[in-house]
């Protein structure tokens, strides 16, 4: 034994390697099903547009009217229809399930008894959840781009206001959308992780984060709240669309990024404090 009571050769920094945790999470059915569904969704939308095609012209005034105008428009519609709910659920799932699932399986205490320091366990799980979340945010528009271009061509991106961007410019800007969503939805990740260390029920952690998002979006519609709505975590959910403006309006993008990081920092600090002091009984 070492002078400090640790077994010879024990190094806290070598416990629970990222590779091991990542492989564990990738082998889980919920990970496979989630990523698989996101990859399948653009094909489902394509089928829906194909069998539900009507006689409206492509010069319509809404994103739905323009969804089949080009592959780029198909990508924009896909993101617009998923960013406010489905992608929130995905991020909440990867972060909310990560610690609570270990507690529900009664394996959390064995991980800590390995021993894996609590801070390291929380950090490793958060990093892997972040990697899976970012992968999901990239996967959906990437598949939508491939499906859209094959089905509707590589024409210009046309907005409901009549503005258009050439393929190369629009594709480059669409590549920035997952980056913005990853930063903005950091608040969902932070809240879901906080709930994950606060309960032994993964569904409660995931559902709690999603419910807060829904409540925030409902409050956002109440105009009587005035400027207070700017402090709601979902206020800048659709600010990614400003990346497609000409020129780009960085105001709401910056506000959305700052809001997401601010909430994530607050939730992260609360998570670290709570997990460090929590009695692990499962």
pLDDT at 281 over 80: no
Write down the pLDDT at residue 4. Answer: 45
Kind plus residue range of the DSSP H or E element containing 159: none
Phi, psi of 143 (to 5 degrees): -65, -40
- For residue 140 the two structure tokens come to 């959906």
Can you tell me the mean pLDDT for 258-272? 96
pLDDT in tens, 79-133: 999 999 999 999 999 999 988 887 777 666 656 656 777 888 889 999 999 999 9
Query: Residue 79: how many CB atoms within 10 A of its CB?
Result: 22
Kind plus residue range of the DSSP H or E element containing 157: strand 157-158
Can you tell me the mean pLDDT for 185-194? 97
- For residue 15 the two structure tokens come to 């416990």
Torsion angle in degrees (nearest 10) through CA of 269, 270, 273, 275: -110
Residue 8 near residue 108 (C-beta atoms within 8 A): no
Write down the pLDDT at residue 1. Answer: 40
pTM of this prediction?
Answer: 0.89
Task: Give 141's pLDDT tier (boundaries 50, 70, 90).
Answer: very high
Task: Give 18's pLDDT tier (boundaries 50, 70, 90).
Answer: confident
Write down the pLDDT at residue 226. Answer: 93
Instruction: Considering only CA atoms, give the Rg of the chain.
Output: 21
Bond into 247 cis (ω within 30): yes
Task: Give 13's pLDDT tier (boundaries 50, 70, 90).
Answer: low
Q: Is 112 exposed, middle or buried (0-12, 13-18, 19+ CB in 10 A)?
A: middle
Can you tell me the mean pLDDT for 236-245? 93
Residue 95 near residue 102 (C-beta atoms within 8 A): no
Write down the pLDDT at residue 110. Answer: 58
Write down the pLDDT at residue 54. Answer: 57
pLDDT in tens, 191-220: 999 999 998 888 999 999 999 999 999 999
- CA gap 45, 78 in Å, rounded: 8
Write down the pLDDT at residue 247. Answer: 87
- CA gap 279, 226 in Å, rounded: 42
- For residue 68 the two structure tokens come to 């089949």
């Amino acid at each position: 034994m070492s002078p400090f009571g640790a077994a010879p050769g024990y190094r806290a920094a070598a416990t629970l390697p990222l590779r091991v945790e990542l492989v564990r999470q990738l082998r889980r059915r919920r990970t496979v099903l989630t990523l698989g569904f996101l990859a399948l969704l653009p094909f489902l939308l394509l089928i829906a547009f194909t069998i539900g095609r009507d006689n409206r012209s492509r010069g319509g005034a809404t994103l739905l009217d323009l969804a089949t105008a080009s592959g780029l428009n198909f990508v924009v519609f896909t993101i617009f229809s998923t960013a406010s709910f489905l992608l929130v659920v995905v991020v909440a799932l990867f972060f909310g399930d990560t610690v609570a699932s270990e507690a529900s399986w009664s394996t959390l205490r064995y991980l800590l008894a390995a021993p894996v320091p609590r801070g390291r366990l929380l950090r490793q799980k958060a990093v892997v959840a972040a990697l899976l979340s970012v992968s999901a945010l990239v996967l959906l528009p990437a598949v939508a781009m491939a499906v859209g271009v094959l089905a509707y061509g590589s024409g210009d991106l046309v907005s409901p206001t009549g503005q258009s961007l050439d393929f190369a410019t629009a594709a480059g800007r669409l590549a920035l959308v997952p980056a913005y969503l990853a930063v903005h939805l950091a608040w969902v990740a932070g809240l879901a992780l906080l709930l994950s260390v606060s309960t032994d029920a993964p569904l409660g952690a995931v559902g709690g984060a999603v419910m807060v998002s829904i409540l925030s979006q409902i409050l956002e519609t109440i105009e009587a709240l005035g400027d207070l709505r700017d402090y709601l975590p979902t206020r800048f959910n659709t600010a990614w669309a400003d990346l497609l403006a000409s020129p780009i309006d960085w105001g709401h993008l910056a506000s959305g990024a700052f809001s997401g990081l601010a909430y994530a920092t607050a939730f992260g600090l609360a998570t670290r404090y709570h997990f460090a002091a929590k009695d692990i009984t499962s």
